[in-house]
Amino acid sequence: MTGHHGNVARVPAPTVLIHARGLTKRFGSFTAVDGIDLDLRRGEAFGFLGPNGAGKSSTMRMIGCVSPPSGGELSILGLDPVADGPAIRAKLGVVPQEDTLDVELTVLENLLIYGRYFGLPRAVIRERSARLLDFVQLSDRRNDRVEPLSGGMKRRLTIARSLINDPEILLLDEPTTGLDPQARHVVWDRLFRLKQQGVTLVLTTHYMDEAEQLCDRLVVMDGGKIAAEGSPRELIDEYSTPEVLELRFDPAVHETAAEKLASVLAQRREVLADRVLLYVHDGDAALAAVRGLGLEPLTSLVRRSTLEDVFLRLTGRRLED
Amino acid sequence: MTSGVMPGPRSGSGPGPAARPLPATPAGRWVFAARQLRFWLTDYRRTWRGSIYSSLLSPLLYLGAMGLGLGTLVDAHGRAGLGGVSYLAFLTPGLLAAAAMQTAVGETTYPVFGSVKWNKTYQAAVSSPLRPSDVFHGHLLFVALRLTMNSALFLAVAAAFGALHSAWAAAALPVAVLTGLAFATPVEAWAVTRQKDTSFAVIFRFGLIPLFLFSGTFFPITQLPAWIRPVAYLTPLWHGVALCRALSLGSADLGGALVHVGYLAALTAAGIAVGNRTYRRRLYV
């Protein structure tokens, strides 16, 4: 990490790796990305958080130089993605939302083919493959066909493949969607290590825990627009309260209870289908106040605010809906 | 960043072997296409044995059954309609061209569709420095290689049958490859646009089989009613069959050969031009 920053000064490389102004993507009459501004810096882990259809993947594909923008400006590593696509892509690592592995080939063959796409010498690919497979814990499967591997293993292989060209920016589109919790944690652990090494990560996710764990800075996207931007901590401080009191009532009294709660001193109250959320500074004090009103929730939970709360506040909807 | 997994230290002192992007020169295009060819060759390593057996079996069956079996009956009837040669000698070069057509269409339908729809290996390729046109051209190189292999095997079997009448038959090899490419490039340009694979069966049934039967492979198209003959002259297969036959029988003339080659080359070039666009449109969404 220190070595990384120490050397940046020597190389006249831009610190802003991805720059966008008014970036737009339209498909026919549908606007998927609606004029967003971005400045992504070297070495940071940057996230796009939003529900399905928010425009995250379209943005990622434009950054990946496989989707020409419909409007606005975009430069990646100081180059134009339409004119200099091959030169930019030579320095990108891409983990697409859907696996694009050749399942008929072996683990090692997939890395070999992909390394050849970048024009790397065979010996270099062999050496890097060994190290990368070790990193993603697939060394013992190196000569196995990809088809029977689990979803988590395929994802890890895709991550290894994306690193074969020693990329300056690693793009990850929903890196853990569809994985079971244990497999997700393994992937997070590997991505966290890459981040510690100073690799610039750009990822999309609709998991707020993924965004909180991995991102130094993120934007909340909704309907093709950026709703807010900052570090996870900044976003929570700005758009939520330190604590949240979650109350669950008997469905028969859910609505009347929710109305009565309006008198409890809370910054904000969200009435969901199955729960009521009170945004407060002190959850325990708020719970005492609720009981003071004579309300007896079936369950109550005091927790810290999360990005999910930020998203709910900004859009009125939940992330995984 | 001392014990990193990143292959070359990002912050490293020396320039490690970095990815080599290429300038957009004609040479660069070939190098990019060759990288995609390598993908297909790696893929082919799993299936090459079986494919060689079937490439040998198919001419054995056809030349045995139709050339020798049916040919005996035809020859007994007199050879005038065939220009004075045996049915086997007449049929063989036609089958060579027709087999090239079938190989070409087979290689450019499901394999292309699978790469863009099922495995999505095409999408993986265009995330690297390769462009859609490189992916297209790389596959065409592979198809050309398969056509060369199959046609060479076919000619070897034909020679063993004694079905080739001239040393010029060797020149039928590149002509058969070109015939295949005249089908491969437009079919591939179209196949990459498909969202479903249902139309491929239609192409086989209503495209390939009529061409196979009525383009002069099995009988001279002068046997067709006069009004339909111009249609046969327009089909690329007829041009391939006619030239392969003229070469195999040693009766080719330069003018005719140039017309056939020109027609097939024009179709190949048109297919490449269209495919450059359709590949781009499909892979750069």
User: What pLDDT is recorded for position B27?
Assistant: 74
pLDDT digits (tens, 9 = 90+) for A298-318: 999 999 999 999 998 998 877
pLDDT at residue A265 is higher than 80: no
Query: Across all residues in chain A, what is the average pLDDT?
Result: 91
**Distance of alpha carbon B151 from alpha carbon B159, whole angstroms:** 12
User: What pLDDT is recorded for position A14?
Assistant: 57
Q: What is the ipTM of this complex?
A: 0.87
Q: Which residues contact A116 (CB under 8 A, 6 or more apart)?
A: A122, A125, B35, B38, B39
Task: Give the number of other CB atoms < 10 A from CB of residue B69.
Answer: 12
Residue A240: CA atoms inside 13 Å, Cβ hemisphere, count? 28
**Distance of alpha carbon B139 from alpha carbon B41, whole angstroms:** 10
**Distance of alpha carbon A101 from alpha carbon A114, whole angstroms:** 10
User: What pLDDT is recorded for position A263?
Assistant: 81
pLDDT at residue A129 is higher than 80: yes
Nearest residue of B to residue A105, measured between CA atoms: B43
Residues A195, A120 contacting (CB under 8 angstroms): no
From A118, A135, A199, residue closest to B129, measured CB to CB = A118
Test mutation, A79, A117, A137, chain B, max B CBs within 10 A: A117
**Distance of alpha carbon A296 from alpha carbon A290, whole angstroms:** 8
Contact criterion met (CB < 8 Å) for A86 and B11: no
User: What pLDDT is recorded for position A5?
Assistant: 45
Rounded to a whole number, what is the distance in Å from the CA of B209 to chain A's nearest CA?
31
Q: Which domains does chain A have, with CATH numbers?
A: 2-236 (3.40.50.300), 241-304 (3.30.70)
From A117, A131, A197, residue closest to B125, measured CB to CB = A117
User: What pLDDT is recorded for position A273?
Assistant: 86
| B44 touches A at CB < 8 Å | no
**Distance of alpha carbon A84 from alpha carbon B12, whole angstroms:** 25
Residue A171: CA atoms inside 13 Å, Cβ hemisphere, count? 27
Residues A3, B11 contacting (CB under 8 angstroms): yes
Residues of chain B with pLDDT under 70: 1-25
pLDDT digits (tens, 9 = 90+) for A64-97: 999 999 999 999 999 999 999 999 999 999 999 9
User: What pLDDT is recorded for position A72?
Assistant: 97
Task: Give the number of other CB atoms < 10 A from CB of residue B235.
Answer: 18
Q: Which tokens go with A204?
A: 């999309």
User: What pLDDT is recorded for position A9?
Assistant: 45
| B42 touches A at CB < 8 Å | yes
Query: In 3D, which of A233, A242, A234, A229 has the Cα closest to residue A213?
Result: A233
Query: In 3D, which of B245, B85, B96 has the Cα closest to residue B157?
Result: B96
| B145 touches A at CB < 8 Å | no
User: What pLDDT is recorded for position B13?
Assistant: 35
User: What pLDDT is recorded for position B81?
Assistant: 80
What's the predicted TM-score (pTM) here? 0.90
CA-to-CA dists, residue A167 to A118, A198, A288, B269, angstroms = 11, 12, 54, 37
Contact criterion met (CB < 8 Å) for B21 and A87: yes
Q: Spell out which residues of chain B touch residue A77, defining contact as CB-CB under 8 Å.
A: none
**Distance of alpha carbon B44 from alpha carbon B142, whole angstroms:** 10
Contact criterion met (CB < 8 Å) for B1 and A165: no
DSSP B70: I
**Distance of alpha carbon B272 from alpha carbon A33, whole angstroms:** 33
Q: How many helices (H) and strands (E) does chain B have?
A: 13, 0
Interface of A with B in 154-193 (CB under 8 A): 163-166, 168, 193
What is the rounded average pLDDT of the residues A235-252? Answer: 93
pLDDT digits (tens, 9 = 90+) for A164-196: 999 999 999 999 988 889 989 989 999 999 999
Q: Spell out which residues of chain B touch residue A7, defining contact as CB-CB under 8 Å.
A: 11
pLDDT band, very low/low/confident/very high, at A1 (cuts 50, 70, 90) = very low
Q: Spell out which residues of chain B touch residue A85, defining contact as CB-CB under 8 Å.
A: 131
Contact criterion met (CB < 8 Å) for B19 and A4: no
**Distance of alpha carbon B133 from alpha carbon B138, whole angstroms:** 8
Q: Which residues contact A268 (CB under 8 A, 6 or more apart)?
A: A241, A278, A279, A313
What share of chain A has pLDDT > 70, as a percent?
95
Q: Which residues contact B8 (CB under 8 A, 6 or more apart)?
A: A166, B16, B17, B18
User: What pLDDT is recorded for position B133?
Assistant: 96
Q: How, if at all, do strands A200-205 and A243-248 pair? A: unpaired
pLDDT digits (tens, 9 = 90+) for A37-71: 999 999 999 999 998 889 999 999 999 999 999 99
- How many residues does the structure list for chain A? 321
Opening angle at CA A93, ends A91 and A94, nearest 5: 135
| A128 touches B at CB < 8 Å | yes
User: What pLDDT is recorded for position B5?
Assistant: 58
User: What pLDDT is recorded for position B150?
Assistant: 96
From A2, A102, A124, residue closest to B43, measured CB to CB = A102
User: What pLDDT is recorded for position B82?
Assistant: 85
User: What pLDDT is recorded for position A52?
Assistant: 86
Residue A137: burial class (beta carbons within 10 Å; 0-12, 13-18, 19+): middle
| B29 touches A at CB < 8 Å | no
Query: In 3D, which of B254, B283, B40 has the Cα closest to residue B140?
Result: B40
Residues B178, B261 contacting (CB under 8 angstroms): yes
What φ, ψ does residue A269 adopt, rounded to 5°?
-130, 130
The residue with tokens 């990815």 is B19
Contact criterion met (CB < 8 Å) for A165 and B120: no
Q: How, if at all, do strands A45-49 and A217-222 pair? A: parallel
